[in-house]
A = this chain, B = another copy of it.
Amino acid sequence: MSLDTSQWNPYDRNCPSRRLLDRIGDRWTVLIIGALSDGPHRFKTITERVDGISQKMLTQTLRGLERDGLVKRTVYPVVPPRVEYELTAAGRSLCKPLAALEEWAKEHMSGVLAARETYDATTVGADA
């Protein structure tokens, strides 16, 4: 496993790491990885856990994650179909940073809400 990270620069639009960052910083990816962090789950379970995700986006995001080697897809040839998704080692290593993001969001929620009210009040005041 290469630990020479100096060759990648996400601030450069042509660097592959930029695209990777786009992907993992994606709204659904954060939630899907979180939903899978406690073990394998079926497609349907994930749609239930991640409120509001469409089947299309779930399929799409899961495919990307699978392609990137972060999620493993297992199909059981039964009817009705049973497909399980599970984080790989690389996927699990992403849990901590994403959980930190989730934590941050929860911790700062009230502060942000307050900031918004202030901002909106002053902005509207400036308009009038």
Residues of A within 8 A of B (CB): 1-3, 5, 8, 10-14, 16-17, 20-22, 24-27, 29-31, 34-35, 49-52, 66-70, 90, 93-94, 96-98, 100-116, 118-120
Contact = CB atoms under 8 A, between A and B. Distances in A.
Given A2-B110, A25-B27, A112-B90, A12 B104 contact: no
Nearest to A91: B108
Given A2-B110, A17-B105, 19 more contacts: A5-B106, A8-B106, A10-B106, A11-B35, A12-B51, A14-B51, A17-B106, A20-B112, A25-B25, A25-B26, A26-B27, A67-B120, A69-B112, A69-B114, A69-B115, A69-B116, A70-B112, A97-B101, A100-B100
Total copies of this chain within the assembly = 2
